[in-house]
Structure 1
Amino acid sequence: MQALDWRWRPKIPNLGASLKSPNRLFLMPAAEALINAPEFTVTELSSALKRTVEDAYGHVRVRGEITGFRGAHSSGHCYFALKDDGAKIEAVIWKFAHARMRFKPQEGLEVIATGKLTTYPGSSKYQIVIEALEPAGIGALMALMEERKKKLAAEGLFDEARKQLLPWLPEVIGVVTSPTGAVIRDILHRLEDRFPRRVLVWPVKVQGDGSAEQIAAAIRGFNALPQGGRIPRPDLLIVARGGGSLEDLWSFNEEIVVRAVAQSMIPLISAVGHETDITLIDFVADKRAPTPTAAAEMAVPVRSELFVELESLARRTMTCWQRGQEFRRNELRAAARALPAATELLAIPRQRLDRAASSLPRGLKANTHAHFRRFAGASARLTVRVLRGQLTQAKHRLTVSGERMTHSARTLLRNRRDRFAGLEVRLKASKLANAQAQRQRIARERERVARLAERARRALVTVTQRLQARVAHSGQLLGALSYRSVLARGFALVRDEQGHPLHAAASIGPGARLDLEFSDGRVAATADGDRPAVARPVKPAVSEPKPAAPKRVIKPVGQGSLF
């Protein structure tokens, strides 16, 4: 007998006159139902689903995070997906809609998309055609970022005049980033390729709670390193992080990080996120790099190129030197040909020398005669009378000077004596006043020490009482929580031969050695292996009615609380 399939069948077109009534209960076999189902082509089915989805939803607003966005297609259209914690939906923005959008899509950004829900028959999936796009979740952050940017700009932290020049070839480079990410490996790899330098890494968190404080502390820590210390002070700093959403990069927009970058005395490069990611430290840093790899390229030149340039400069220097030497050699030869002979140069000086030699004896005689006349006149003026007069005037000037010096010494001594007497009086008065002030101060301090000693004594007594009460309470709590208090109420603790406590009778074998612990001591015991079966009572065939015995009410014995 063929099994029948009872199902509720709606009206299906093109099935026959007997099935024209909608919502009829049909009695048909399952195989016949499958044979009578209508056939659709793939295109017809996809079109029907497309119309159903578009008619049922129309325009919708969807909130999610942009993922898979790699920029506009060569045709101008944009293809990506919106996702949240549980699902993902494909999205498309046509060229004309993308051109008039004020807010452009970005990878990792949470947005609210407005558009029409439709399907794409080519891959049998549904998608949303976005007509408008606005940020979601970051609106407050963006407003806060703009407000903070205006505030810091008003303070002059973004001025180009305060930014420092990067060193051409730093000896030590400090990097502030996460030690577990790919950023530090990219920086080290690029430095190794271009010009190997010593790198100091200060590991920090680059997102999440406390990351901003760690980044600011790392920047200040590098600046606090002394010159010539055990840890060398970096010549250049790089603050780096990979790409992410605005929430992920928010640590680099914190005011504490921006001010730490502004206060850095070491030139600093900001390499946070990708080229499209903007943070506040990009404006205050001495240089902004689009990526961490680009920051490493800015930090050092290419070593091989420097070698080539150095060799070129050496060759040019040698060529210039050789040309200069050749030019000076030619000039020397030309000057040597133009110079006159030595005899011609010395002819006139030799003639002047001969004339001076011939006139020298006459000049010596005339000079001797002039000096003799001058000495003779001076000796005529030096008589005994003149010398005595000069000695008398000198003695008179000496006597007058001695009297004036004696009078001045006495006056100065008298003034000094009066001054010292006044100073002595003032010193005695100051000593008395100082001694009185010190005695008063000592008395005040003695009173203060006595008050503090009394307060300390009272505080010590109070603390001792509190600690004693706390110890007593802890002892009571310990006694209440101890299993020995349970044993004191009549219970026993059963242990096996190894001293492990037993919790069930099934874990005890026949003849097992047991240790029973009571409140007043321990007792050894042996488990009884004979457990006779309990016989069921046999009901008599004819039993006389017996008076019902009063039921005995057994009151459960409470175990009590351990606390």
Structure 2
Amino acid sequence: MSDFFSESNAPQPKANVAEYTVSEISGALKRAIEDQFGHVRVRGEISGYRGPHSSGHAYFSLKDDRARIEAVVWKTTMSRLKFRPEEGMEVIATGKLTTYPGSSKYQIVIDNLEPAGAGALMALLEERKRRLAAEGLFEAARKRPLPYMPLVLGVITSPTGAVIRDIIHRITDRFPLHVVLWPVRVQGETSGAEVTAAVQGFNALPHDGPVKRPDLLIVARGGGSLEDLWGFNDEALARAVAASDIPVISAVGHETDWTLVDFVADVRAPTPTGAAEIAVPVKADLEATLANLGARLKGCMTRHFDRKRQSLRAASRALPTPDQLLALPRRHFDEVTSRLGRAIIVGTERKRARFLAVRLSPATLEWRMAETRRITDRDMARAFAALRAILRERRLRLERAAQRFGPQPLLRRQKQSADALTALQRRLDHATILRLERLRGRVNQAERLLATLSHQSILDRGFALVTDAEGALVKRAAEVAPHDALSLRFADGTVGVIATEGTHRPKPQAKAAKPKDPGTQGSLF
């Protein structure tokens, strides 16, 4: 080991080469790279994309199967991108290479970003479609029926395009109603987020607010390429449409254009005009239908009344006349009337005879009043006696309670409770002290055991730990090869060494070790 250190520490002769500072080298490299690669197009897969930073810039990497390069998109460029970058998407980036002297890295500053062909977007679209379909968002069972005659129609589209004019024109021709427009961008990176916010905003409107909540929504856009319609393939937008409480009609692109919104919407229309035709019926057809149904109802009611009238006439001919129905009751009424007059006369005579037989007099009234007074006095006496008995019983119960809960018993109970509480406090203090002593003994025992089992105590006795370059513990000399870099850990520090000999088979890159006597063990030094 002494020879090794003496050779490595020998003074080297100074070379006739110019010296540069770190800043000069970094600046020269930056100028060279920017001059040579001032405008490049790089194809690669996006890696490490986490969305725009709080500053608005986006930082990620472009990689292929053998290398990767750092990339940055400034905030001003981010707002001009036609689609939003996503993790794993293969893209073609246009920009310039530059270096970052602070960390000795080179990176590409992207001015334009485009997908690497429609195949990459289609692959990403198929992956999203497969994931959403697995969650059941495309199932027909979860789609809601559209209202037949909505009162308020919500439209989510661009306010300046021909789509909104076509929808309003078709609605006016078919069935005029109140239309609420939520203006959004239908192309570009922010289109998906704006349409998502519009769907959620319409659902958040109250039913009785100043802006009426729509009964039906139409998400519309004209035709375009896959890149133009990419905002309507946003996963967040698809989930918002699927979770909407208001039925949604998707009218994005032409009949041959399909987006994720078309799959999750309750109804998919081939064109925006077709969506307006699906949303509302034709008012003239409704009026004609109502007139036809009204005429049919009137004729039906007329025929129904005629049949009922004929049935009533046929039934009336089979019924007896009023004179025939009232003949027997009238005769019975006449007989009862005649008997009633005689019964009144007889009853009056009987009542008069009984009244005369009673012979009312003042003596009779006085006797009845005396009898009533006697009964009343008797009942009053019984009531006063019962009341006095109840009062005596309540007084006795009160006196017994006063004796039981008086000042002296309460003082005795308080003293007993205080003595019991003091005894319990003493027992608690004693138990706490015993518990702390027991735990302190267990902690001291664990500390002694830890000091005994710790490898530091072994190192203090003069032993050392041997580890290889990867930090793995070397337990046997057979695991050491010549020229292996080892580390010896003593009690007061660590020393790096190089093995000059060893019994382990040398690595392929190292030179073959000289043969040695198999009976002797190699030395680390």
Q: TM-score, normalised by structure 1?
A: 0.43
Q: Which has the higher contact order (CA 8 A, sep 6+)?
A: 2
Which structure has the larger Rg? 1
TM-score scaled by length of structure 2: 0.46
